[in-house]
Amino acid sequence: MILDTDKEYLEKKLEEISSILPEGIINKLKNSISNYPAQISKEEIDKIIELTLRDYSSSLIHPGEAAGVVAAQSIGEPGTQMTLRTFHYAGVRELNVTLGLPRLIEIVDARKIPSTPMMTIYLTDEFKSDKEKALSVARKIEYTRVESVVDSTSIDINSMAVVIHLDPKMLQDKGVEVEDVTKAIKKLKLGEFEIQQGEDEFTLNIIFQNMDSVTGLFKAREKILSTKIKGLKGIRRAIVKKNGEEYVIITDGSNLDGVLGIKGVDVSRVETNNLHEVEVTLGLEAGRELIAKEIKKVLDEQGLDVDARHIELVSDIMTRTGDIRQIGRHGVTGEKTSVFARAAFEVTVKHLLDAAARGDVEEFKGVVENIIIGQPIKLGTGMVELSMKPATR
């Protein structure tokens, strides 16, 4: 709380420091001072601003600080406290998601496909408040094969036909009509065949004209069962769930590119945990953000407190070269220019022999190399190159 007469003064003061401090801090200062339960005088405003500046400048990181090692330790050290238990509920009972140490390892490994790919799909205004509408989107997304709506199948050698009994319950659950199934089967290239309705409306007789062997029929049945009726590849299940005010779709499996093309999906809010997919469809910057976000998610879930700056440093180094690189032999470390640094990490002999064949030069710039030959490293106090030679008397 401040006197109305002091308001202008505060504005002026904040204007003065706006070039030094980030905008967020300035706004925060304004809010905190105006809304404080006690009255704040002019002198106190001065004091607060002075202290803010001092606090900021004394919090700045010092040149030479080994930011990388600190970041690595800050993420690695809590790793020992994490549970190994792989599965945890992901908001919905129906789905399990890898979390904890295995997920963290998966992220720094930059695996192409996570062990439990998952998406959270938000819907546009039109669809998000109606459960039925949300379900219709979910059904469009969910990958459905003939197999998943079939109750049983049989083979009729007499008429050389594959008989399919559909499960009406499943048809309804998946939102599939019998016509959808016939349409999908018709598109198949199985030679000449004809689809007839069987004993009831849920039975289909698929009669082959030129089929001469029973094994052919069996093969055809396999083909028919694995035919896609609708949905996106890779999405095994899509579940609609109420999230606060709106309905969201949570999927088992991920297909970002496909989901972005579905009507009703709020394209700006689609989430997936598949790093590679995000990198390919949305670009490297999005991939970088996602790495940091996913690491943060794992640590938060375990109740471990790690500063965001450390996590961002890891995601920055993983994406520095323009694609997502793994933390390890096939990525960041493997691409180091120093022979010794690579040899000291893994596959020692191969790196040495390759270096010999190529005639590489070890320049001793990095940390590992200099430790190997026992020279000071160029971090921290080792960074200083100016030295004084005292005159000897």
Alpha helix segments (H runs only) across 142-270: 168-174, 178-186, 214-225, 256-260
Residues 306-345 that bind another protein (CB under 8 A): 306-310, 312-314, 316-317, 320-321, 327-328, 331-333, 335-337, 339-341, 343-345
Closer residue to another protein in complex, CB, 251/281: 251
The footprint of another protein on this chain (CB under 8 A) covers a number of residues equal to 112
Alpha helix segments (H runs only) across 226-329: 256-260, 275-282, 284-301, 308-318
Minimum CB distance to another protein, residue 102 (Å): 8
Closer residue to another protein in complex, CB, 240/270: 240
Residues 27-86 that bind another protein (CB under 8 A): 28-29, 32-33, 36-40, 44, 47-48, 51-52, 55-56, 58-80, 82-85
Rounded distance between C-alpha atoms, residue 42 and residue 144, angstroms: 69
Closer residue to another protein in complex, CB, 27/197: 27
Beta bridge partners of 205: 163, 196
| The residue to which tokens 């546009």 are assigned | 124
Q: Give the H/E segment covering residue 147.
A: none
> Which amino acid is located at 73 in the chain?
Q
- The radius of gyration of the chain's CA atoms, rounded to the nearest angstrom, is 31
Binding mask 17-36 for another protein (x = CB under 8 A): ----xx-xx--xx--xx--x
Pick the binder of another protein from 157, 212, 245, 349 (CB under 8 A). Answer: 349
Residue 366 contacts another protein per CB under 8 A: yes
Measured in degrees and rounded to the nearest 5, phi and psi for residue 98 equal: -70, 130
Spatial strand order in the sheet of 118-121:
237-243, 246-252, 118-121, 271-272
Q: Are 67 and 313 in contact (CB under 8 A)?
A: yes
Residues 101-130 that bind another protein (CB under 8 A): 101, 104-105, 108
Residue 253 contacts another protein per CB under 8 A: no
Q: Are 222 and 190 in contact (CB under 8 A)?
A: no
Residue 392 contacts another protein per CB under 8 A: no
Rounded distance between C-alpha atoms, residue 152 and residue 337, angstroms: 61
Q: Using N-to-C axis directions, what is the helix angle for 23-34 and 42-59, rounded to 10°?
A: 150
Residue 361 contacts another protein per CB under 8 A: yes
Residues 279-308 that bind another protein (CB under 8 A): 305-308
Residues 140-199 that bind another protein (CB under 8 A): none
Comparing C-alpha atoms, which of 128, 145, 120, 133 is closest to residue 256?
120
Minimum CB distance to another protein, residue 162 (Å): 28
| The residue to which tokens 């032999």 are assigned | 329
Closer residue to another protein in complex, CB, 88/223: 88
Rounded distance between C-alpha atoms, residue 163 and residue 109, angstroms: 47
Residue 353 contacts another protein per CB under 8 A: yes
Minimum CB distance to another protein, residue 168 (Å): 17
Residue 243 contacts another protein per CB under 8 A: no
Minimum CB distance to another protein, residue 139 (Å): 14
Closer residue to another protein in complex, CB, 3/353: 353
Residue 131 contacts another protein per CB under 8 A: no
Pick the binder of another protein from 3, 214, 260, 356 (CB under 8 A). Answer: 356
Q: Are 197 and 203 in contact (CB under 8 A)?
A: yes
Pick the binder of another protein from 223, 237, 293, 297 (CB under 8 A). Answer: 237
Minimum CB distance to another protein, residue 77 (Å): 4
Closer residue to another protein in complex, CB, 155/377: 377
Pick the binder of another protein from 357, 386, 388, 391 (CB under 8 A). Answer: 357
Comparing C-alpha atoms, which of 224, 298, 264 is closest to residue 140?
264
